Structure 1
Amino acid sequence: MPIKTSGAADTQPVRITRLQRELAQRLAQDIAAGVFELDSHLSEKVLSQRYEVSRTPVRGALRLLAESGLARCKPNSGYYVARRAQVDDTAGAPEGAPLTSEDLYRRLVADRSQRLLDDSFTDSELLHRYGVPRSILMKTLLRMASEGVLEKRQGHGWRFPASLADDDVRKESYRFRIVIECAGLQEPDFMADQRAFQDMRERHTALLADVQRPIVTDEFFALNSAFHEMLARCSGNRFVLQAVQQQNQLRQLDAHPASYPVSTLERYVREHLDILDAMEAGDQEWAVAVMRRHLKATQWAA
């Protein structure tokens, strides 16, 4: 589904820049991957921080999403996700342009999560599959390797690291997360982003309002990942943030359709809210205790 790029239907059409088109495509891909769940608020500030651009291209990209039906604009409120795009619909680059390194990164993660990629592969296999220049492919693979999402095989090719679907690997991952994320809450430069905290609180509260409906993995994963990444960003420590983002990427590689029990979901959501309350109240000790308990429990349902 190429993102619609025509101007407004009036005598003064709005000029659409290449950056706006590319950003709209990346947003569509993230919506398809479940990063932004249905009806979630697409905050200009949050998106500009996430994609490291100013609010102007974000605003243009949101208009394009609205034209394509992926987002809707609520008066005096902003844009919200209107429907979930399909990964195949958002895979192409805008206006037939070749895939960028960022596009390819997202394609590789999405294809791996659907088990469309084997555990190991060669450069040639990826070049044939995605049709990108070798320079783009190598830039992407080296980035993924530096972030721990890929490993270089001795001699020839690449492989994905041990799967978090493996019980021992998953437990090791959660032990690491307990160390990193609890430390992040105690960073001296931790500063709660009030707007981000409020947005996160509203999204969690919305889930509690409909707890009679089991929630599928990708819906909960999107909110859960955004919650932990937000806290890491508030820590003010770039290495804490990088570690949490890496863990989220590794978890996304093993995303699979499933449902969380209503009682379990409600407990996890309330624990998130307890952590927000504690950090806003300046009670880091209690927030750390809840986070440790939360991560120990969720490893069995991740």
Structure 2
Amino acid sequence: MDNTKKLKSELQSELVSRISEWIRNQDPSGKIRVREAVLSRELGVSRTPIRAALQHLVGEGVLSPHELGGYTMLLIPPVASDSMAPGDESAGLYGRILRDIILHEMPDPATESALMRQYGAGRGEILQVLRRLMREGLAEPLPGKGWTMLKFDGEQMLKSYHLRSILEPALLIDRDYVIDRPVLERLKADHQAALAALSETSSWREIFELDATFHEVLARGSRNDLIADIIRRQNRLRRLAEFFSYSRLERIRASMTEHVAILDALLAGDPAWASALMRQHLTVSRTETEDHFSRDLEAVRSASSGIERLK
């Protein structure tokens, strides 16, 4: 296979993985309608490759064409087989690359060859990490020019908190907000299980995914895909910030407890109290970020081999 065909095949496979992840993150009841236009907007990809990826998922039995347009979900797509398992060497490489994205120490341009030289890794390992970063919204391929990484600094982080402090409390008291009790009860149970098992060896990735899921599930209650998309995009930035802030176990525990209180308020039919708790939660998180940002950043800088808890 020549290089052009190989690149096309890899990117097409990655697009299928990204669409599958998008589907998994939607309404767990499976009643969603998957549309090319929506995926094109949310993933930032033109509709032609989106259409080809959707046809692949039809062939896999995941989707079925709907008579009124779009596709219906027949089954929840499985997680990509190239996911990094604990102990996988690529998980350590992921931590090193994520660290360098935060510190702006990535090669420019970030070509596969340059990354292989910088990290002493094979092309397969590099591609596996790049695919994961792409699924997480932290990296995007540039045709013929390598890869571009999400830009991150303290100012962007504070702007993100400002946006979320305006949006997230307000959506909980909107008259059109819908509380999905089974979903919220399941989310509460997941938080309680995570709190019971929380320790210094807990997986950073699992903690982040639960945190991100909490905010995205609540955003989906707005039944407004633009709001849900904003929260998903902000979670990409938070993934970088919380890469190093998760070293503070006491804040993780407090944050999860705050999540449970917000869920309890919603389940009790008190959206005004849930909104107030959300505002307080985001204010405390922003203050913690401001107070510890420089110190946490320096801790990342000194961890030249990445952070083991990323596994």
Partner in structure 2 of residue 271 of structure 1 = 258
Please give the alpha-carbon distance, in whole angstroms, between the structure 2 residues aligned to 1:227 and 1:208: 14
- Going from structure 1 to structure 2, the CA distance change for 1:231 and 1:148 (only over 3 Å counts) comes to same
The answer on 1:280 being equivalent to 2:267 is yes
State the SS of the aligned residue for 2:266: helix
Partner in structure 1 of residue 192 of structure 2 = 205
Please give the alpha-carbon distance, in whole angstroms, between the structure 2 residues aligned to 1:180 and 1:149: 26
Of residues 156, 160, 183, the one that matches 1:169 is 156
Q: Deviations 1:259-299 (Å, cap 9, x if unpaired)? A: 44443222211111111111122212111111111111123
The answer on 1:113 being equivalent to 2:104 is no
- Going from structure 1 to structure 2, the CA distance change for 1:43 and 1:206 (only over 3 Å counts) comes to farther
Partner in structure 2 of residue 246 of structure 1 = 233
TM-score normalised over the length of structure 2: 0.52
Of residues 28, 33, 46, the one that matches 1:46 is 28
Superposed counterparts of 1:1-302, under 5 Å: 26=17, 46=28, 52=34, 53=63, 54-58=72-76, 61=78, 84=86, 86=88, 88=90, 113-115=98-100, 121=108, 126=111, 162-164=151-153, 166=154, 168-213=155-200, 215-254=202-241, 256=243, 259-299=246-286, 300-301=288-289
CA contact (8 A) 2:188 2:260 kept: yes
CA contact (8 A) 1:214 1:259 kept: no
State the SS of the aligned residue for 1:209: helix
CA contact (8 A) 1:216 1:258 kept: no
Higher mean C-alpha deviation, range 260-269 or range 193-202 = 260-269
TM-score normalised over the length of structure 1: 0.53
Q: Deviations 1:2-50 (Å, cap 9, x if unpaired)? A: xxxxxxxxxxxxxxxxxxx9699838x97xxxx9xxxxxx899639579
- Going from structure 1 to structure 2, the CA distance change for 1:251 and 1:259 (only over 3 Å counts) comes to closer
Unmatched segments (≥5 aa) in structure 1: 1-20, 36-41, 71-80, 90-106, 131-143
Please give the alpha-carbon distance, in whole angstroms, between the structure 1 residues aligned to 2:15 and 2:157: 34
Please give the alpha-carbon distance, in whole angstroms, between the structure 2 residues aligned to 1:201 and 1:127: 41
**Pairwise CA distance, 1:243:** 1.1
Please give the alpha-carbon distance, in whole angstroms, between the structure 2 residues aligned to 1:281 and 1:265: 24
Question: Partner letter of residue 231 of structure 1?
Answer: L
State the SS of the aligned residue for 2:177: coil
Q: CA RMSD in A?
A: 4.9
Partner in structure 1 of residue 306 of structure 2 = none
**Pairwise CA distance, 1:238:** 2.1
- Going from structure 1 to structure 2, the CA distance change for 1:210 and 1:225 (only over 3 Å counts) comes to same
- Going from structure 1 to structure 2, the CA distance change for 1:169 and 1:48 (only over 3 Å counts) comes to same
CA contact (8 A) 1:218 1:257 kept: no
Question: Partner letter of residue 26 of structure 1?
Answer: S
Identity %: 22
Please give the alpha-carbon distance, in whole angstroms, between the structure 1 residues aligned to 2:157 and 2:25: 32
CA contact (8 A) 1:113 1:254 kept: no
Please give the alpha-carbon distance, in whole angstroms, between the structure 2 residues aligned to 1:149 and 1:262: 28
Q: Which has the higher contact order (CA 8 A, sep 6+)?
A: 2
Question: Partner letter of residue 187 of structure 1?
Answer: D
Please give the alpha-carbon distance, in whole angstroms, between the structure 1 residues aligned to 2:169 and 2:184: 18
Unmatched segments (≥5 aa) in structure 2: 1-11, 35-62, 64-71, 116-133, 294-311
Question: Partner letter of residue 235 of structure 1?
Answer: S
CA contact (8 A) 1:181 1:240 kept: no
